Structure 1
Amino acid sequence: MSTHYDVIVVGGGVTGLSSAWWLARDGLRVLVLDKGVVGAEASSRNGGGCSHYQSPLFLEEQRLWPMMDELLGYPTEHSPERVIIATNQHNLDHYHFIAGMCDEMGYRVDRLDPQQARELVPIAGDNCLGGIHYRFGGHANPQRTVQAYAWALQDLGGRIIQHCPVLTIDSSGGTVTGVTTPQGSFTCGSLVVAAGPQIMALLEPLGIHVPLVAARAEMIVTEPAPLMKYGGVDGNGLYGRQTMRGNLAFGGGPHEWIDTSPEGVRARPTTPLSRNLARRVAELFPKAAHLNVIRSWAGIIENTPDGRPAIDRVGNVTVASMSGVGFGLSPATGHAVRDLVVDGQCSFAEISKLGLARFDNLAPDWRETQGWLPLEAA
């Protein structure tokens, strides 16, 4: 069992696993360390959407997702295209605005009248005012995708150690040399930190400031409904998908702001939020309102002050915090991290606006100013 690696990746979510896979494809010896089980937080507890048109990584996201099953060698259950339906005029106007943005980028979006929307989404009701149909993007199965990244990495010789939190990051002369864990010390040439809400506490001792706050993002799953042509359907403040069995899996806030630590927190669902989600799913899909909720789960996500990802390299440390959009962007994020580690810059997109320098003049009380406080503190 080796103790030295070309790259150590801290965090076994989709961002860390994708980064490790991209690096292993270059023949680098890669170790992934996770405090729990890979994908156990938000990476396997999300809506599975792959349509982040506002990100500089968007074009690479769209290029890669249709190829991921073949590239990884394992199924992600990626399904193309996505529908968004509106139950009020304000939302419909907003969706048409989004369609205009995507048109300008060269990505086709169809405007749907109420009848067309109900034909695509048969469980929608008479309250459906129309919507839009992305002819790009789509969704994938978060659990399957986490498995695919992990297995593909191991096929390339990468190593994953679960239940192995990083206690300290070791450095010498301003350069990171390795990490210390309960299972021993490991040395490395480069370090990637993709540990979600724990990023801030891990990097502060190195003088790398990544302002983050953690939130609990909840999802519910219903009994199966008849399969729709396009399983990725959003609206009413919800994101989610229909599974291959027909279950409706949806989330969409309001997120609960929490305090976290390097050891993490237990991401248990809360009944009031589950009821809130169930009500909105029933409003969006009146013809499925009779379905029972059969389970719910919550995952921990991290948020930067401006809600955008933070991807940057400081010395031989590369930081990747995805601020709640990590799953869909994961193929492109892994590619960007690989480029930063190996080449020092991203080869396919201008990502400087995702750098840490934008936080240099951040007010110390930014979290209080934005009201992102745990319920008892708020």
Structure 2
Amino acid sequence: MSEHYDVIVIGAGVTGLSSAWWLARDGRSVLVLDKGVVGAEASSRNGGGASHYQSPLFAEEQRLWPMMDDLLGYPTEHQRERVIISVNQREFDHYNYIADMCTAMGWPADKIDGDTARAMVPIAGDNCLGGIHLRFGGHANPQRTVQAYAWALQDLGGRVIQHCPVIGIETVGGQVSAVTTPRGRFTCGALVVAAGPQIAGLLAPLGIEVPLMAGRAEMIVTEPAPLMRLGGVDGNGLYGRQTMRGNLAFGGGPHEWIDTQPEGPRARPTTPLSRSLARRVAEMFPRAAHLNVIRSWAGIVESTPDGRPILDRLDNLVIATMSGVGFGLSPATGHAVRDLVVDGTCSFTDIAKLSLARFAGLAPDWRETAGWLPLAAA
């Protein structure tokens, strides 16, 4: 097989699919390649939050999410607003600080006492000191959203090939010209690399060093609880949501750092994290502590040394690694990638702080210094 596309996207996670969809909307011929299936890693296995107020992409995230069902033509189950509740004084003080910061930025956030929090979150207990009510942000269903991006892309003529890892990137005169796969060679006018932890291995042969560490992010899902008015609730070191069936789906680290090969992690290691997550969910929601955990999810996420995304263009190559916050920012990230590919710069915000150049001179042992070691080594 040998075909030409205006843009090839490596990675069928939420960032790659959103980028491809935005490019297809612009009339570009787009091919998405993935070593596995659409959204197989963290893109479909996360808390679904869309409230990244510390990102330069935040305003665009907030503008777009309420429109995404109509724009995509498929449901994402997006719901607006979130509540963050505290079960100790340290959390209470920190969340009040967040409320002041958001309000100063022009995003309304109410400070709430314990009684108000329990009225908004009926499964919270007497240990709830209060918290904050974010009148912005929200959450969506990760699996539904990934499917929506993929279907909407195909509706626009975009193509997705699953189980098709990229095994080589070709360049001519310093620009990407083609990628090779077990299914053939595909030529392109531009390349977007949104392959999560595999980005580093894919780009290293081109002399591009992208500092990333892979981690296993896990979530638990409980039996259904009575539906709450606002299903997006954070606290006690947890993030997550109540599904439309009532299940509580929550995660919150710590990450289990793992080694990754260029083709991706070879196995999903076991982890003791489920018990910790279940305990913290029960502490945050004492009136739901009787619910059984019925399943767990896990996905591989990547993180940069400073925990912030990398969105950058090098010639006709765009790097997009979101460092664990890809889902909620995906509508805005796709827009930014479209701008980088087509116009060379982001049209709606300044993303200079997300450039790869900020890691120039990074010490080779940064993983060891940070303590980000695989479990066996640690």
Same fold? TM cut 0.5: yes
Give, in whole Å, the separation in 2 of the partners of 1:97 and 1:253.
22
Give, in whole Å, the separation in 2 of the partners of 1:230 and 1:66.
16
**CA offset digits 1:59-110 (Å, max 9, x no partner):** 0000000000000000000000000000000001000000011001111001
Match of 1:14 in 2: 14
Match of 1:325 in 2: 325
Q: Does 1:343 align with 2:353?
A: no
Percent of residue pairs bearing the same amino acid type: 80
Structure 2 contact 260–266 (Cα < 8 Å) conserved: no
What are the residue-to-residue correspondences of 1:223-302 with 2, within 5 Å?
Answer: 223-265=223-265, 268=268, 270=270, 272-302=272-302
Q: Does 1:39 align with 2:60?
A: no
Give, in whole Å, the separation in 2 of the partners of 1:41 and 1:271.
16
Structure 1 contact 29–158 (Cα < 8 Å) conserved: yes
Which residue type is aligned with residue 252 of structure 2? G
Match of 1:183 in 2: 183
Structure 1 contact 216–267 (Cα < 8 Å) conserved: no
Match of 1:57 in 2: 57
Cα distance, 1:269 vs structure 2: 6.8
**CA offset digits 1:262-303 (Å, max 9, x no partner):** 221256473521111000000000000000000001100000
- Normalization by structure 2: what TM-score? 0.99
Cα distance, 1:315 vs structure 2: 0.7
Cα distance, 1:261 vs structure 2: 1.2
**Aligned residues, how many?**
378
Cα distance, 1:346 vs structure 2: 0.2
Structure 1 contact 267–300 (Cα < 8 Å) conserved: no
Q: Does 1:165 align with 2:165?
A: yes
Match of 1:29 in 2: 29
Give, in whole Å, the separation in 1 of the partners of 2:307 and 2:161.
30
Which residue type is aligned with residue 78 of structure 1? H
Give, in whole Å, the separation in 1 of the partners of 2:111 and 2:98.
11
Structure 1, unaligned runs of 5 or more:
none
Give, in whole Å, the separation in 2 of the partners of 1:271 and 1:339.
40
Distance 1:138 1:266, change over 3 A: farther
Match of 2:209 in 1: 209
**CA offset digits 1:291-343 (Å, max 9, x no partner):** 00000011000000000000000010000000000000000000000000000
Structure 2 contact 2–184 (Cα < 8 Å) conserved: no
**CA offset digits 1:91-135 (Å, max 9, x no partner):** 010000000110011110011100000000000000000000000
Match of 1:84 in 2: 84
Give, in whole Å, the separation in 1 of the partners of 2:268 and 2:179.
30
Structure 2 contact 2–187 (Cα < 8 Å) conserved: no
**CA root-mean-square deviation:** 1.0
What SS is found at the alignment partner of 1:3?
strand
Structure 2, unaligned runs of 5 or more:
none
Distance 1:266 1:51, change over 3 A: farther
**CA offset digits 1:129-163 (Å, max 9, x no partner):** 00000000000000000000000000000000000
Distance 1:129 1:366, change over 3 A: same
Cα distance, 1:173 vs structure 2: 1.6
Give, in whole Å, the separation in 2 of the partners of 1:271 and 1:221.
16
